[in-house]
Amino acid sequence: MKRTSRILAILLAALIVMPLAAFAQASGTWAFTGPVAKAATNASSTLMQNGKVLVAGGNVGGIGAVFPDAQVYDPATNLWTARKMKAGRNWNTGTLLPDGRVLIVGGSNGKLNGDKLGILKTAEFYDPATGTFALSGSKMATPRASHTATLLPDGKVLVAGGMNVYVPRIRWGSCTNLAELYDPATDSFSSAGAMRVVHCGHTATVLQNGKVLIVGGTDAELYDPATNSWSSAGAMNAAHAGSAVLLPNGKVLLAGATVPAELYDPAAGTFTVTGSSANLYGANTAVLLTNGKVLMAGGPAGQCELYDPLAGTWSATGSLNSVRFGFGLSLISDGHVLVTDGMTSYQIMSAEIYTP
């Protein structure tokens, strides 16, 4: 009896630390990871240089329920570890810096100042070597949430747009057209000028020529780091929200929340219509796979689709096991895709892995 119990204990321990490869299912399917340490909606999700994924900030349901925590996923062990941030924040961004740290910028603290929701100017870093967060010694000039923070080829980070005022009582807010540059070498923010229009919940994509394509609503524009200036990217065929993915051929796929899908060609400076997905998807729900195709995840009933840039067509792939929106999405080092938390009518405390 004792020997049997000992064997069962060994088997249970092996299951707990079973590596991701052992959980891999057939291609095109999703499998749950080990239990998450925390649960939050609209958290940032950042693949780090050590192959682990940092999921930081977010919301746990309603105004004021902002998440002061983070968690780290290790694909090698299929385990999650809780971490504590310096400030609770929602609608923040997470950007991997060249030195291996993750820059967490802006967001809302969930607190009311009069009738306005608190929007943050602060930033903090996660250091994977120590497993700790530290506040930046510098603040942005403009508070912002639902912005973008994009690593440039020179190692600086372009922080653009975002919501700077929100009144929950009447569900009204305003967005900014101002942009800033964060320089890790000096731990400082400086002006990156003003976009042509205001943007919230937009996309930002670094092109192969080093410029940044910003797309939101009916407007598309380009930021040029060499001149620190903005210009029009040309006319789109339709208003766009959702996701933007840089393809191996240098073009950018715009798809997800609106149809038709479009391709932006930086060489020609034009937008052309391509095949559209069968379902609509939330913001930032697409990722380029290592095989060159694009995975779009989390349709209304958990549907997922693949876009083939060579054929310009979409095809169905396995659906998520849990219907969710506002989830984190990351391509991990071995080519799998990680989807974290989110919610439907309730908070979803789980994560899933996609096997291409």
CATH topology of domain 25-355: Neuraminidase (2.120.10)
Token code pair at residue 179: 């942009």
pTM above 0.75, yes or no: yes
Q: What is the pLDDT of residue 149?
A: 98
**Rounded Cα distance, 298 and 189, in Å:** 35
Q: What is the pLDDT of residue 3?
A: 42
- Residue by residue, DSSP assigns 259-288 as SSEEEEETTTTEEEEE---SS---TT-EEE
Backbone angles phi, psi at 22, to 5 degrees: -70, -20
Tokens 């924040």 found at = 89
Give domain limits for the chain.
25-355
Q: What is the pLDDT of residue 62?
A: 66
What are the average pLDDT values for consecutive 10-residue runs of the chain, which has 356 residues? Answer: 38 40 73 91 95 93 78 96 95 97 96 93 98 98 97 98 93 94 98 97 97 95 98 94 96 92 97 95 95 96 97 97 94 95 86 96
Q: Are 36 and 339 in contact (CB under 8 A)?
A: no
Q: Are 157 and 103 in contact (CB under 8 A)?
A: yes
